[in-house]
Amino acid sequence: MPFVTADTQRSDYDVIVVGSGAGGGQSAYSLTMDGARVLMLEAGRNYSAGESSMFRTPDLAPLRGASTPDKPFGFFDATVDGGWSVPGEPYGRASEADAGRFEWWRARMLGGRTNHWGRISLRNGPYDFKPYTRDGLGFDWPIGYDDVAPYYDKVEMLIGVYGSNEGLENTPNSPTGVLLPPPTPLVSDHLIAQRAKRLGIPAIPGHRAVLTRALDHKRVPALLHPGNARAQQILAEDMRERSPCLWATPCGHGCSVRANYQSTTVHLPPALKSGNLDIITDAMVHEVTVGRNGRATGVNFIDRLSGKERHATGRVVVLAASACESARILLNSKSAQHPDGLGNSSGKVGRYLMDTVGSRVSGQIPLLENLPPLNEDGADGHALYVPWWQYREQLAGKLGFARGYHIEFGGGKRMPGVGTGGGIEWLTGGSYGRKFKEDVRRYYGSFVGFDGRGEMIPNERSFCEIDPGVKDKWGIPVLRFHWQWSDHERRQAAHMQTTFGEIIDAMGGRIPHPLKTDGAEAIAPGGSIIHEVGGAIMGSDPKASVTNRWGQTWDVDNLFINDGGVFASNADKNPTLTIMALAWRASDHILERLRRKEL
Ligand SMILES: Cc1cc2nc3c(=O)[nH]c(=O)nc-3n(C[C@H](O)[C@H](O)[C@H](O)COP(=O)(O)OP(=O)(O)OC[C@H]3O[C@@H](n4cnc5c(N)ncnc54)[C@H](O)[C@@H]3O)c2cc1C
Ligand code: SF4
């Protein structure tokens, strides 16, 4: 069972999975390795990491690989289709002003955004599942850290995540033997860690889904698939084919040696080898169909190549089209039984949309000037990071905002591209010819950047709905976004700026622009950090949430949401590892109920 078409698909699938990114890939893997017959429907085109331009240098690209509107992350970016806008697939927003603007990044390709993502893979901590209990804001999840921890272990072992166990507050350790060793930090990382420590700010090894050494194909498959010899064999063979990282090529181009996690290189190959997965690409799902008994029967989709309407049938439907796309499918699945859309008896589909709070400061550090090139310079970032460190001050009410942020930072001598050496007039006063070349060499590698990644509290004013007047090129109604930050997020962004300024100061550095101490100016627009979650939140009360603790919709027993839509809060930790852990957990639940013939 491999890639099929609408005409060659079967009629007896156990599960239809919509979307092939982190949530869809993990669902397909977990379900098929344990014997379920799955049809995956992906709106984008087929893609294999063999297409990756990881070894191609910027001089080989038009405009030397510079960012363009259709390739915002540069010509060789692994996002072969999609971006901040998708031709023929518009979306609306209630406000264009920075404060109320929502930006939506979509990848239309097999594997979705996982072909390009930053691979930063942090676990939510125990506090992150019970935020309301701690400070009375937002919502508690109906599950706690202990429910998800076994699945974090499994996902980390499957995809390969490097990191260390530091035992810091709300920054969970992984069990011994789960994480891969962290890479050598860059010189700039060492300096940042040393100077931040003087300010009481801890920098520790980051966690990233990149193989610092070969996966243990003899030990891990048996831990992940106990009692399932066939799954163990498939996984062991697949793990042997993944190479450790070369530390020399930009991960955003995709990784053809399979050294980092992409759904296309990690989840889908073994799932296809199981013989239980069929995939239809270019299949734009727009509706979940429901029988007279109120149960989901399958999905309707547009075959993007022919433009024709098609149907797929399954006993269970899993939506993993990304948080907002899944909400869109639910809202568009209207019927006499479900006039406001499917799974929406609570009126909460599309509600409580969240992104990550983001703010950035860059600086120039004289101590890092004129350094010789070092082996570590090729590494693609996140060797170290700063987890949120001010829980006590926050609890004591000293900060003026709720919830924390972590700091991602970077420096070093990445491969020069167009723009390298530009914009240094604030340091040189303007230079030309030989002096300019000397200046570029002097300053190359002496810049550091700090990105805050903070928790947003869900609010009533940030949501998506169906735009009553606009349809995409297939005739499918599109989303319209509403967005508002609260003072908590704005103050947090201002705090980030001050902190980054202090660290740069402690490094003896300088910054090109004044810090943005007004949070409204400091905060990045909604959606722009590309960590959007919510819109189908899980809860304990069917009137206040869309799904239960398994991601199963309250209204339709055999309909599950296996992407970030179910997040009841959006901790500072980047969401994708949690999306995968929850998708595996939900898949185990589906398998169990399929076995018991309850679905
Ligand atoms: C530049 C960048 C950097 C990032 N860095 C990080 C990071 O370091 N750490 C982290 O945790 N997260 C990061 N993210 C976010 C991460 O990529 C997402 O959280 C993750 O991919 C979400 O997984 P998903 O399966 O929900 O959605 P996606 O990966 O977007 O996959 C959804 C898939 O569904 C398909 N689809 C959509 N609609 C339909 C439809 N109607 N019918 C059929 N198929 C459909 C899409 O084409 C897509 O392939 C980053 C994202 C970007 C873009
Ligand atoms: S740096 Fe490593 S993980 Fe990233 S693309 Fe290169 S080999 Fe792959």
- Model confidence over 336-368: pLDDT tens digits? 889 999 999 999 999 999 999 999 999 999 999
DSSP state of 265: I
Distance (Å) from CA 325 to ligand 1 centroid: 10
Place 28 in a pLDDT band, splitting at 50, 70 and 90. Answer: very high
What ligand 2 atom has the least distance to the C-alpha of 247? 1
250 is written with which tokens? 């930009």
pLDDT category of residue 233 using cuts at 50, 70 and 90: very high
Phi, psi for 251 (deg, rounded to 5):
-60, -25
State both tokens at 453. Answer: 């990644």
Which bound ligand lies closest to the C-alpha atom of 261?
2
Banded model confidence at residue 326, pLDDT cuts 50, 70, 90: very high
| Ligand whose nearest atom lies closest to the CA of 415 | 2
Residue 25: per-residue pLDDT: 98
- State the pLDDT at residue 452: 98
pLDDT digits over 168-207, tens only?
999 999 999 999 999 999 999 999 999 999 999 999 999 9
Sign of CA dihedral 487, 492, 493, 497: positive
Ligand 1 in reach of 325 Cβ (< 6 A) = yes
Cβ of 472 less than 6 Å from ligand 1 = no
The angle formed by the CA atoms of residues 473, 479 and 484, to the nearest 5 degrees, is 150
Within 10 Å of residue 290's Cβ, how many Cβ atoms? 22
Overall pTM surpassing 0.85 (yes/no):
yes
Q: Whose CA is nearest to atom 2 of ligand 2?
A: 245
Amino acid at the residue 55: F
Whether the pLDDT of residue 1 is over 80: the answer is: no
- pLDDT recorded at residue 65: 87
DSSP state of 258: -
Lookup: tokens for 243: 């190479």
Q: Is the pLDDT of residue 414 over 90?
A: no
Distance between Cα 258 and ligand 2 center (Å): 8
Q: What is the pLDDT of residues 518-574, one digit of tens each?
A: 999 999 999 999 999 999 999 999 999 999 999 999 999 999 999 999 999 999 999
**pLDDT tens string 476-532:** 999 999 999 999 999 999 999 999 999 999 999 999 999 999 999 999 999 999 999
What is the residue-averaged pLDDT of the chain?
Answer: 96
The reply to whether ligand 1 has any atom less than 6 angstroms from the CB of 93 is no
* Ligand 2 binding pocket mutation candidate from 215, 241, 249, 415 (most atoms within 8 A of CB): 249
Q: Nearest ligand to the C-alpha of residue 123?
A: 1
Contact (CB, 8 A) for 240 and 218: no
Q: CA nearest 29: which of 317, 279, 268?
A: 268
- The dihedrals phi and psi of 128, each to the nearest 5 degrees, come to -70, -20
Q: How close is the Cα of 29 to the center of ligand 1, in Å?
A: 17
281, exposed or middle or buried, with CB in 10 Å at 0-12, 13-18, 19+?
A: buried
Amino acid at 180: L
How many C-beta atoms lie closer than 10 Å to residue 292's C-beta?
Answer: 7
Ligand 1 atom 2, closest CA: 117
**In contact, 38 and 317? CB cutoff 8 Å:** no
Return the residue matching tokens 């090139």.
373
- 251 within ligand 2 shell (Cβ under 6 A): yes
Candidates 321, 326, 286, 296; CA nearest to 535 is: 326
What confidence tier does 46 reach under pLDDT thresholds 50, 70, 90? very high
**Cβ pair 290, 335 in contact under 8 A:** yes
pLDDT at 101 over 70: yes
Nearest Cα neighbor of 23 from 209, 263, 238, 254 is 263
| pLDDT for res 375 | 81
Per-residue CA distances from 19 to 42, 181, 278, 283, 342 (Å): 5, 32, 13, 9, 18
Q: Is 522 in the pocket of ligand 2 (CB under 6 A)?
A: no
Nearest ligand 1 atom, CA 284: 42
Is the shortest distance between the CB of 116 and ligand 1 below 6 Å? yes
Ligand 2, residue 254: give the atom nearest the CA. Answer: 5
Pairing of strands 405-410, 447-454: antiparallel
Residue in this structure with the two tokens 């980054």, named with its chain if needed: 500
Give residue 395's pLDDT: 93
pLDDT bracket for residue 408 (50, 70, 90): very high
| DSSP-based three-state secondary structure for 462 | coil
Task: Answer whether residue 376 shows pLDDT above 90.
Answer: no
* Burial environment of residue 76 by CB neighbours within 10 A (0 to 12, 13 to 18, 19 or more): buried
Q: Please name the amino acid found at residue 493.
A: A
Of the pLDDT bands very low, low, confident and very high (cuts 50, 70, 90), residue 378 is confident
Residue whose tokens read 């690989």 = 65
